[in-house]
């Protein structure tokens, strides 16, 4: 009898140990603490801001000026780091807003998920005064922050267009005119020349997808064709002809030995940049600032242009991502937080200063009137880098629907890409499987 | 879990008539002393366990929780990624845990040997990985295992060998994970085994020596039986730990490439904190808890004391 009891206890203990250690600590909750966005005073309060590396530093630099206008608002800028910030915001929203900062810097990839899964988690900026800036930002961005046309979930900050940063000296050495490349197919041919004459790869991809942004290049090829993982109705378009075309281009490059492996993410990318492993960095606007900072001695060797089109005559402009400032629904100083958001994002001089500091491209169109966007850049061989991207922002471009299921889609895409790059899988097949899997996981329809 | 450590000589309960009549206050006092611990246990263990079960029966639709019954559990059965995670975790369990425990036993015996000088230093050295922080751990292994810039491949290169894609090839990634886990936990297990080893009476070894037993025979017939309770403990702890393994794949491979190192722990994390699907993540947690319970039971049966 005694033995029986002890055994039962043991078994119970084993299960409890398992459950206790794995048990997800009650972290659901609806996060529905939205107050309608009128809490606190506009001129007074103590607010905290969560952002990451560069943007955090630039916001910090703006605080003294902000305090001249609002001496009674005390601002603390915290550099949470990217991607750590996403987990931290998620946890805070899931805990009903507990412990969140007042102002949150949020990427377009996360914004719809937060809004949909945690209604009220972010304050409605409309009543605070956001609607006055409806037409101030690059096209498509207002729709991104107010998908239903009523609530304003955030205010746009960065608008990043697809760019094509390249080592002009390597292109020259290989005898290829980079400016004349019209399609990615031509670029692949150029890549072969470069590889043969200089030994450099055409570009690099995080082949095993060690980081979530391993699919950035694939995504850019999709967006250049005006498509995305979902269409505007929210149906899955992961195996559309455009997507298969994009993945096939990547496979062709890889099979020709033109793709270096950037597994390890950011650090590997920086090492590769310093070593000159790749001739092209197909990166968005903000990356120009990184290049200047990392390899200052290569001034004059670099140039930038918009990427070649996927199909001849196709678009070379695409807004590949954007970031936004939101105010937490749980914030007790929403009005003061809004004052800060308004100061940073809607004043051209704030945005110009941030651009000068880190090359972060504003979404605020009025900022581009400043001369800094029209000056020749010594680093980029005297090119007017700002104008290159301004052209892209002004070009007609499609709106992209990230949906609340973007993270799932991205995971399936990076897996599919790894299958292609590491195992030589067939693009159409792996994308088809990914689309079906995504449909099973999310209940969305596949549009075929 | 230490129940097996108490032998069969548990003191008999005092007969009812002989028990002194204690005043009520004296009976309350012990409970008051354990009350803080009980409250904390209830708040941070019992409540989350219960709440997590409730969540596992819900799905968040448009910000509101909707009761869906066992939907999350049936979804689990048809989810290929869950099965991939389970398979990966089982492979690690089947290959890495026995290897690690064998290594830990060898280490424990070596660290117990009086022939070894500076034993305390070695014991500390082997235990240290246990307290290494997640971030330091990640940096350390990425420096070791990076394909192009890693120390291991640099060493291989010195011997003229080709670089190994430690973290980027599905098979090697699993091996690297095993390597990292072994580094992390071997010392911890060795310390537990060592503690038990020191409780094995020296007379048994003397008696074995008198009977003419060599080193191997006395290891097999004295050391191993003496270690059995500790081996059971380390096996069960390692099983639980491995089934929940999260740190290593999270910092080294993120579950990749192509889910080759996706473990149940990482999949749970992804569903909760990447996809905000808390109901499904809770269902995964419960499935895992049941699995751990079943495996723990089997191990107690196989390795535990025979009644």
Interchain proximity A13–B279, CB inside 8 Å: no
By Cβ distance, the residue of B52, B80, B300 closest to A24 is B52
Nearest beta carbon to residue B300 from set A10, A119, A405: A10
- Specify the length of chain A in residues: 448
Residue A48 backbone phi and psi in degrees, to 5: -120, 150
Tokens of A243: 């997507």
> Using the 8-state DSSP alphabet, how is residue A369 labeled?
G
B119-to-A21, B66, B194 alpha-carbon distances in Å:
33, 59, 12
How much is the pLDDT for A125? 95
Q: Which two tokens stand for residue A162?
A: 């697809």
Mutate to test the interface with A, among B59, B63, B283 (most CBs of A within 10 A): B63
Chain B residues in contact with A122 (beta carbon < 8 A)? none
Tell if the CB–CB gap between B63 and A31 is shorter than 8 Å. yes
Please report how the helices B47-56 and A2-22 are oriented relative to each other, as an axis angle in degrees rounded to 10: 70
- CB-CB neighbors (< 8 A) of A26 in chain B: 47-48, 51-52, 55
Choose the closest CB to A20 out of B49, B51, B265.
B49
pLDDT for position A255? 96
pTM, two decimal places:
0.82
Cβ-Cβ pairs closer than 8 A, A with B, add up to: 177
Tell me the nearest-neighbour CA distance from B100 into chain A, angstroms.
Answer: 21
CB within 8 Å: B293 and A14: yes
Residue holding tokens 């009644």? B307
User: Distance (Å) from the C-alpha of residue B161 to the closest C-alpha of chain A?
Assistant: 20
The shortest CB-CB distance from B64 to any of A30, A211, A411 is to: A30
Q: Is A411 in Cβ contact with B286 (below 8 Å)?
A: no
State how far the Cα of A16 lies from the Cα of A10, in Å rounded to an integer. Answer: 10
Would you give per-residue pLDDT tens digits along chain B (307 residues)? Answer: 444 444 444 444 444 444 555 555 668 888 899 999 999 999 999 999 999 999 999 987 766 788 998 999 999 998 999 999 999 999 999 999 999 999 999 999 888 887 777 778 888 888 888 888 878 888 888 888 887 778 899 999 899 888 888 888 888 999 999 999 999 999 999 999 999 998 888 888 889 889 888 888 988 888 899 998 899 999 999 999 999 999 889 888 888 788 999 999 999 999 988 888 899 999 999 999 999 999 989 988 887 765 4
Asked if B278 lies within 8 A of A24 by C-beta distance, the reply is yes
Bond preceding residue B307 cis, omega within 30 of 0 = no
β pairing state of B58-61 and A259-261: unpaired
Cα gap A115→A122, rounded to integer Å: 7
> Mutation test of the interface with chain B: which of A28, A148, A153, choosing the one with the most B Cβ atoms within 10 A?
A28
Where would I find the beta strands (DSSP E) of A126-222? 155-161, 164-167, 203-205
Burial environment of residue B267 by CB neighbours within 10 A (0 to 12, 13 to 18, 19 or more): buried
Would the CB atoms of A22 and B45 count as touching at under 8 Å?
Answer: no
d(CA B164, CA B153): 6
Tokens describing residue B175: 């091996």
Q: Is the peptide bond before A54 cis (omega within 30 degrees of 0)?
A: no
Phi, psi of A292 (to 5 degrees): -60, -40
Contact residues, chain A, for B44 at CB < 8 Å: 25
How much is the pLDDT for B27?
82
Compute the nearest-CA separation of A85 from chain B (Å). 12
Q: Which residue does chain A place closest to B287, by CA atoms?
A: A19
Q: Is A188 on the interface with B (CB under 8 A)?
A: no
Contacts with A395 (C-beta within 8 Å, 6 or more apart), sequence order: A315, A316, A317
What gap in Å lies between CA A407 and CA A87, rounded to an integer? 13
Q: Which of A1, A8, A13, A23 to mutate to test the interface with B (most CBs of B within 10 A)?
A: A23
Tell me which residues of chain A, numbers 25 to 54, contact chain B at a CB-CB cutoff of 8 Å: 25-28, 30-32
Report how far apart, in Å, the C-alpha atoms of A90 and of each of A111, A118, B75 are: 11, 9, 24
Chain A neighbors of B148, CB-CB under 8 A: 261, 268
In chain A, what residues touch B149 (CB-CB under 8 Å)? Answer: 271
Token representation of residue B158:
């010195």
Give the number of other Cβ atoms within 10 Å of residue B36's Cβ.
Answer: 9
How far does the CA of residue A266 sit from the closest CA of chain B (Å)? 13
Helix (H, G, I), strand (E, B) or coil at A311: coil
CA distance A136 to A133: 5
Contact: A23, B292; criterion CB under 8 Å:
no
Of B146, B236, B240, the CB nearest to A21: B240
Contact B63 A16 (CB under 8 A): no
SS3 B304: coil
Long-range contacts, stretch A130-136, CB < 8 angstroms, 24+ apart: A130/A155, A130/A338, A133/A346, A136/A346, A136/A364, A136/A365, A136/A366
B136 CB burial (10 A radius; 0-12, 13-18, 19+): exposed
Q: What angle do CA A137, A142, A147 make, to 5 degrees?
A: 170
Residues 6+ away with beta carbon under 8 Å from B103: B182, B186, B190
Residue A16 near residue B240, CB atoms below 8 Å:
no
Spatial distance between the Cα atoms of B307 and B301, rounded to a whole number of angstroms = 10
**Contact across the interface for A18 and B291, Cβ inside 8 Å:** yes
- Which among A304, A278, A307, A296 has a CA at the least distance from the CA of A165? A304
Of A207, A390, A398, A400, the C-alpha closest to A304 is: A390
Q: Which A positions 234-273 lie with beta carbon below 8 A of chain B?
A: 261, 263-264, 267-268, 271
Separation in Å, CA A383 to CA A175, A182, A242, A301, A405:
20, 19, 32, 12, 39
Q: State how far the Cα of B258 lies from the Cα of B173, in Å rounded to an integer.
A: 11
Name the stretches of chain A with pLDDT < 50. 1-37
Tell me the three state secondary structure of residue A351. helix
The string of pLDDT tens digits covering residues A215-261 is 999 999 999 999 999 998 899 999 999 999 999 999 999 999 999 99
Report d(CA B176, CA B179) in Å as an integer: 5
Return the bridge partners of B64, or none: B61
């Amino acid at each position: 009898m005694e033995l029986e009891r002890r055994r039962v206890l043991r078994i119970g203990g084993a299960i409890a140990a398992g459950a206790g250690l794995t048990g997800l600590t009650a972290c659901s909750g609806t996060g529905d603490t939205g107050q309608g966005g009128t809490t606190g005073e506009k001129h007074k309060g103590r607010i905290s801001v969560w952002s990451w590396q560069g943007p955090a530093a630039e916001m910090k630099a703006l605080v003294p000026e902000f305090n001249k206008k609002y001496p009674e608002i005390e601002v603390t800028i915290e550099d949470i780091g990217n991607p750590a910030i996403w987990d931290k915001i998620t946890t805070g929203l899931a805990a009903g807003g507990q412990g969140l900062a007042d102002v949150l810097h949020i990427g377009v990839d996360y914004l719809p998920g937060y809004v949909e899964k945690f209604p009220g988690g972010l304050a409605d900026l409309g009543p605070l005064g956001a609607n006055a800036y409806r037409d101030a930002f690059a096209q498509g961005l207002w729709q991104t922050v107010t998908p239903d046309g009523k609530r304003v979930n955030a205010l746009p900050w960065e608008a990043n267009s697809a760019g094509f940063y390249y080592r002009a000296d390597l292109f020259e050495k290989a005898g290829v005119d980079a400016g004349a490349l019209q399609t990615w197919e031509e670029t692949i041919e150029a890549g072969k020349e470069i590889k043969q004459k200089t030994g450099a790869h055409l570009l690099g991809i995080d082949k095993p997808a060690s980081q979530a942004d391993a699919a950035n290049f694939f995504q850019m090829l999709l967006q250049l064709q005006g498509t995305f993982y979902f269409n505007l109705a929210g149906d899955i378009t992961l195996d559309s002809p455009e997507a298969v075309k994009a993945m096939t281009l990547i496979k062709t490059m890889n099979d020709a030995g033109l793709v270096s492996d950037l597994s390890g993410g950011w650090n590997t990318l920086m090492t590769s940049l310093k070593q000159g492993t790749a001739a092209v960095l197909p990166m968005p606007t903000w990356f120009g600032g990184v290049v200047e900072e990392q390899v200052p001695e290569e001034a004059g060797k670099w140039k930038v242009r918009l990427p070649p089109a996927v199909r001849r005559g196709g678009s070379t402009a695409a807004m590949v991502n954007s970031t936004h400032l939101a105010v937490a629904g749980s914030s007790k100083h929403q009005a003061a937080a809004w004052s800060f958001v308004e100061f940073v994002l809607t004043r051209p001089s704030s945005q110009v200063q941030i651009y000068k500091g880190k090359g972060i491209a504003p979404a605020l169109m009025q900022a581009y009137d400043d001369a800094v966007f029209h000056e020749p850049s010594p680093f980029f061989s005297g090119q007017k880098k700002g104008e290159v991207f301004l052209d892209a922002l002004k070009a007609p471009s499609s709106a992209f629907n990230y949906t609340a299921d973007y993270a799932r889609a991205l995971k399936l895409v990076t897996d599919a890409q790894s299958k292609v790059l590491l195992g030589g899988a067939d693009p159409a097949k792996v994308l088809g499987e990914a689309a079906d899997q995504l449909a099973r996981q999310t209940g969305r329809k596949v549009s075929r | 879990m230490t129940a097996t450590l108490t032998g069969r000589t548990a003191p008999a309960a005092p007969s009812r008539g002989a028990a002194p009549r204690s005043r009520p206050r004296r009976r309350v006092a012990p409970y008051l002393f354990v009350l803080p611990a009980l409250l904390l246990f209830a708040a941070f263990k019992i409540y989350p366990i219960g709440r997590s079960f409730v969540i596992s029966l819900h799905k968040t639709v448009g910000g509101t929780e909707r009761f869906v019954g066992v939907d999350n559990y049936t979804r689990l059965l048809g989810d290929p990624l869950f099965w991939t995670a389970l398979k990966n975790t089982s492979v690690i369990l089947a290959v890495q845990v026995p290897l690690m425990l064998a290594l830990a036993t060898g280490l424990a015996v070596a660290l117990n040997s009086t022939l070894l000088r500076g034993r305390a230093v070695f014991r500390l050295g082997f235990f240290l990985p246990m307290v290494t922080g997640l971030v330091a751990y990640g940096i350390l292994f990425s420096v070791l295992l990076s394909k192009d810039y890693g120390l291991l491949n640099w060493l291989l290169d010195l011997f003229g060998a080709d670089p190994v894609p430690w973290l980027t090839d599905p098979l090697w990634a699993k091996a690297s994970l095993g390597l990292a886990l072994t580094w992390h936990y071997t010392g911890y297990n060795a310390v537990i085994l060592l503690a038990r080893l020191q409780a094995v009476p020296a007379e048994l070894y003397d008696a074995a020596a008198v009977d003419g037993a060599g080193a191997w025979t006395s290891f097999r017939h004295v050391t191993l039986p003496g270690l059995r309770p500790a081996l059971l403990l380390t096996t069960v702890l390692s099983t639980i730990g491995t089934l929940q393994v999260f740190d290593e794949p999270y910092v080294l491979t993120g579950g990749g490439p192509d889910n080759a190192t996706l473990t149940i722990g990482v999949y749970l994390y992804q569903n909760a904190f990447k996809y905000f699907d808390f109901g499904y993540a809770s269902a995964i947690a419960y499935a895992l808890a049941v699995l751990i319970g079943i495996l723990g039971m089997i191990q107690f049966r196989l390795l535990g004391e025979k009644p």
